[in-house]
Structure formats: C-alpha cells, structure tokens
Structure 1
Amino acid sequence: MKRILLSRPMPPATIEAASQLFEVEIRDSTRPMSPAEIRSGLAVYDGMMVTLGDQVSAEILQDFGRPRCKILANFGVGYNHIDTQACRNHGVTVTNTPGAVTDATADVAMTLILMACRRAGEAERLVRSGQWEGWHPTQMLGLHVTGRKLGVIGMGRIGQAVARRCHFGFGMEVGYFNRSEKETEVPATRHETLEGLAAWADILVVATPASPETHHLVGASVLGAMQPHGVLVNIARGDIVDEAALIAALEARSIGAVGLDVYEHEPLVPEALMAFDNAVLLPHLGTSCLDVREDMGAMAVENLRAFFAGEDCPNKVN
C-alpha cells in the first residue's frame, strides 16, 4: 500500500477517503511545511497532498535525482508554491483541484466588493465602538454598486463566475483583461491594456492565476490609472498586487478602497495596510466552506488514486 502524507489537518471526509486507498500519515501542524519537512517527505512518502505555503522549490528538489515521492496532489487550485518545471525534471507529477473552488471564491469576491464599496467593515467597527450616533442623510456615504463597471483581470473560471454575479445580480457592465479573447456567458469587452481596463472600471477584480509573469502585475502604473473612487479587489494570490504600491495609492487617496483576501507575504499583513479604514481585509477565506473543502479533498484523492492506478490524472498541471 502506498504511503501518503497529508501536509495539514484535512476535513474528515478527505482523511477517510484517502485512508481507504493508502497508508496515510497526517501532519498535525496548520502551518506550512518547512524545507526540511518537504525534503523528508520527498524521501519517505510515495505521494503527498500539499497545499498553500508548502514551498516545493528547485533548490529542494536538486537534492534528489528521482525522489521516492512521485506525485504532489495540491489541495487547491493555485500552485505557485510548487516549481512545476523542477518537479517535471525530477519525475514528480503535480495536480490541483480546479472547479471545486470556483463559486466559493467568486462569492468572496462579491463579499469584498460589497464591503469595500458600502464601507461595511468600517460601519461595523463604528457600531461595535459604541460611538454611532444614529442615522443621518450624509452618514458613511459609499459607492453604489448596482450598474457599475466591472473590470476583471483574468477571465478564467473564477473571473467568469464573478462576472456572472455582477452582471446578472447587479446589472454591471463587464470588461476584462486576458491574454486571449474569451467566450463568456455575459456580454464582456476585452481591453487591450491593463491600464486601460483600470481607467475604465469602477471596480477592478484580480482573478488571474499566480505565475512569474503575473508577479506585481497590478503595480503603480495600474493603480495610478484607476479612478479616484475605484475599488480594487484581490481574490487570486497576494503577490499579483504590488503591496507597497497599493499602500502608496491608499495613502495618496488616488483610489477609493481595497478589498483583499490574499496578501503578498501572508500571513504577514503590513501595519500600514491595516491602518486604512477603506481597506477590507479577510484572512484568505476564499474556499472556507466545509462542503467546498470536502470537494477539494475528493479531487485531490482522486488525482492520487488515478496516478497510482496508472491512469491519467484528472487535473495534472505539469
């Protein structure tokens, strides 16, 4: 029976499904694996179910010719913490769990859009502080969401799910920036430049996968092109947004608000960012629903099962 390491405590259904097929060991820490733990795992286990923060780098893999571990089944759709080319060079297959995360992540995008535009976080803090003095006509005026212009950076599964919600639910006009033209369920216009999209949109949502090419894709030039009332939302990966440039834009009041579920160096969140009332900050809640996490686990286990059965992995990425 193949030995499999689960790098974090997983939903019970995921553990049960894996245990029916493999000899399973569960790492009991909720923190990312250290480089030493990853090296050990590559040497000791036949496969590992890894997740966000478990950095599998070329530097670690260079210690091996062909490690015992032949598959990394990533629990999550994003896999920028894994050097997939280095894994390929060392005979390690990498898989992920797309699809299962789409709707939940798009729902969190809507949460951030509404909270940032309508100043909901700031408003709740006011009520909890006991300093709310009652309704009046100019109290905490925010940005009306219905009928606004939505700009989507990355029109993949999640980007299109956000666009559907915004168009059908809030009557928004949709524009997007993508490497290629996309067929979409909703009317959507592709913009040739990211700065052009940022200048056009009232609300700009980052939904593109992280890669070396998208590192700091949203930087000073994009933020500088946004309208003064513009709202930036990031539900993708933190390093797609240049956090220092974002803080500078907020300090200069050149954008209206920001809603973040991810951070460049998470779990570190800069104190400067936390000081802004117009910043809505969530602790990477994108897929934080039990049934969604169970679906992700089922996909990861199926990738493992298929690999060791000699079948094509449903969600191979390298």
Structure 2
Amino acid sequence: MKKKIVFFHLLNNFTGSPQILRNVIETAIKEGYPVELYTSSTQGFLSGIPGVNYRPNLYRRYPNRWITLFTFFTSQLILAIVLLRHLGEKSIFYTNTILPFSAIFAGIMMGKKVITHVHENEVSPRILDRFLFWWVRNLSTTKIVVSEFLRSNPKLGQKDIILLPNAVNSRITKHAVPVTWSSASFTVLMLASLRPYKGIDDFVQLSHRLPGIRFILVLSDTDTEVGKWKKNLVLGSNIEIFPVQEEVIPFFKKSHLLLNLAHPDLWLETFGMTVLEGFCFGLPAIVPTLGGVAELVDDEVNGYKIDYTQADLIESKIQDLAKNPDLWERLSKGALLTSQNYTLQEFERKVSGILNS
C-alpha cells in the first residue's frame, strides 16, 4: 500500500493556491494514495473532494492584521501538537504555500519527506517573510515553484527546486468556449482581491476614461467587505463590481479582454492563474511587465505587457482591441494556443513523478 499523503493549507477559499492544491490532491487520489487534508472549515476549492479525510485547522483572518498574526502562530502551535498523531506513521507531508511552517518542522522531526509547494515570492511583515522562508529553504525535502520567476528567488536557495507551472482545472476547460468579438458590448474583465496593490482603483479609473466600454471587476472578498470599499467610490454606469464568486466561468464567457493591474513595485505576481483561465476562452490579456504573470504573455501574440503606471497606453490598447476585430482575433488565437501549453494532463504527469519519486 502506498504511503499516506498529509496535505496542509491554511485558508480554504476561492483563490488560486487552493485551486492548484485541489488538482494535486485529485492526482494523488488517482494514483492510489490515501489522503488527509488539514485546512479551515470555510468554503472554497478544497471543499468536498471525494476520498479526502478532512482535519480541522483553526486559522482564520481578521480585519486587524495583528490579531490575524496572533491567530496564525497560535494555530501553528496547536497544529504541531496535533501532528504527533502521525508519529511512526508512513506518510509524506505536503504543505501548500510557505505558511504551515509547523507541518514542515514536525515532518522533518518525524523523519518524513516534506514537500513544500511555494506560491509566494514574499509575505508581510518582512520579519515573517524571513522566518518562513528560512524554514522552507533549510527544512523542506523538496520545493515546488510555479514559475521561473519564483525559482530565481534567492530566499529559496538553489537545491531541490522543481518547476511545476499551474494548470487549468477541468472544471474550466469543460466549459471553455472561445468568445467572439463584439464592438457593441466589448467587455474588460479583472479578477482580484480587495488590495490596493492589485490595481483595483486603477481599474475603476480606466472605466471612467472609457465610458463606452463595459468593465467587470470580480473580487475574492465578501459582499460586506466589497460594500465598504464601494462606499468611497464614484462609479459610472459602465462598471459592475462583484464579491467573491464560487463560479467565474460566466464572467469569462461575456468578456473580451482580461486585465491584471498589479503594482510590481509593491507586489509581484508569481504566476497569474486568472490570466491562464481567460486564455482558455480566447481572452487576450494586459499584464504587468514583471513577475511570473509576465511569463504567460508575449506582446502582440496573446496580449501586452504594460506597467500599471502607463494608464494612457493601457487605455489606447483597450481602444484598439475594441475597434479592431482583426487585431483582437489574432491575439485571441494566440491566447488559445498558449492555454494548450498548460494542460491538466501534463500537470498530473509531473505531480505523479514528484509523488512517486
């Protein structure tokens, strides 16, 4: 019988890292591994996976970052004690993101193979960043990274690093029908979290600049949090803002261009999952010039790499795509071709090799 794989992920929600972990877990189950998962009881991509034995994780987020930080360390202390149940057990520990550091420590102390799936380039505050990357760099048996950009991070060291680009879940690809260009209802889509460095305010400003174009912003935050943010905004009739959505496929289907306006001076995207998902529907993308997300886009092939500070240029490119169907269709075809390089089948093949090694 194969070793059990014990997975760890702090906060289950509808963001990129739990979605990728679900792909890994489903691959492990297909390969015949018994699976346990320590995660929060919140709803997200990790909920309801057949064949998974769920274990509770006490971590949760609060509006006050210091309370959140206290909860984080408390939950890790409790987790370290709880993990004594795996002492003497033949199992592999698989931590998703660098945050579950007590699982890394406990796994190494119990002589287990510890795989850390790294999605972050940095965390805040800086002292926590240094603390967490030390554990990953020095104690993880194997480190998985999602992009070449992340592999070059010196905080990870140079040894035992495996590149595993993210893949689009079959839930997306089954419903991914290429969209068609429309000048009458040309729509610009952005999916982001409610953080200023994600470019959400810049997106709103673009909607004011281009009143004849439709804008849709889908946030990964609650209706209450989104409502508080919207109170301070002046919104035109051409923009819609939505709170967290369990299913984003309908938004891709009615859009024509995807934006990522993250601020590289404050935050560097390590991959760009929403961009890749948009490519499956033939949506060209405008993304930052730096970070892992920039690896997905080639200028004039499937979109453009433009810094968020160049608002005039971004506005000009949106206008070009909204008025020129030949240009849009060429970039749309490039987006579809790019998406074929990140198939779930190839992802599963690589995951199987890592788990079976």
Normalised by the shorter chain, which TM-score bucket?
A: 0.3 to 0.5
Calculate the TM-score normalised by the size of structure 1. Answer: 0.34
- Counting helix residues as a fraction of each chain, which structure ranks higher? 2
Calculate the TM-score normalised by the size of structure 2. Answer: 0.31
Greater RCO between the two (CA within 8 Å, min separation 6)? 1
